[in-house]
Amino acid sequence: MHTTCGASNVSFGLPNRHASTANFLSMAISNGMTSAIMNPLHAEVKAAVGAAEVLMGNDQDCGAWSATNREGADGADGASAGRRGGRRGGRRARVEGS
């Protein structure tokens, strides 16, 4: 059976609510929750969900975790949200010279 919850409801009104939400989601995933309604822009929450997916065996060969957390990837090495390393743009920007 698939389950979904509104993750931010558990920490509404609490200080440091992203940490509470992150820990709640990790615990919920370990107990079988399959999806959550959450803000994907909170790095702490995303990291906790990714780690739980690895530990539960849902991230095959740790591929998503490795892609997200390898050196130089967005969000790796404590990079702040919105700051990117490496190249900017995409193939189109490089070809068009933007």
Position 90 scores a pLDDT of 60
Mean predicted lDDT score pLDDT of the chain: 81
Query: Could you read off the pLDDT of 4-47 as tens digits, one per residue?
Result: 988 888 888 999 999 999 999 999 999 999 999 988 889 999 99
User: Left, alpha or beta for 83 (phi > 0: left; psi -120 to 50: alpha)?
Assistant: beta
Select the more confidently predicted residue: 97 or 32. Answer: 32
Can you give the residue range of the structural domain that contains 22?
4-81
> Structure pTM?
0.66
Asked if residue 39 belongs to a domain, the reply is: yes
29: exposed, middle or buried (Cβ count in 10 Å: 0-12, 13-18, 19+): buried
Q: Is the pLDDT of residue 82 over 80?
A: no
Percent of the chain with pLDDT over 90: 49
Asked if residue 92 belongs to a domain, the reply is: no
Asked if residue 43 belongs to a domain, the reply is: yes
User: Left, alpha or beta for 64 (phi > 0: left; psi -120 to 50: alpha)?
Assistant: alpha
Asked if residue 47 belongs to a domain, the reply is: yes
Return the structure tokens found at 60. Answer: 């095959």
Asked if residue 30 belongs to a domain, the reply is: yes
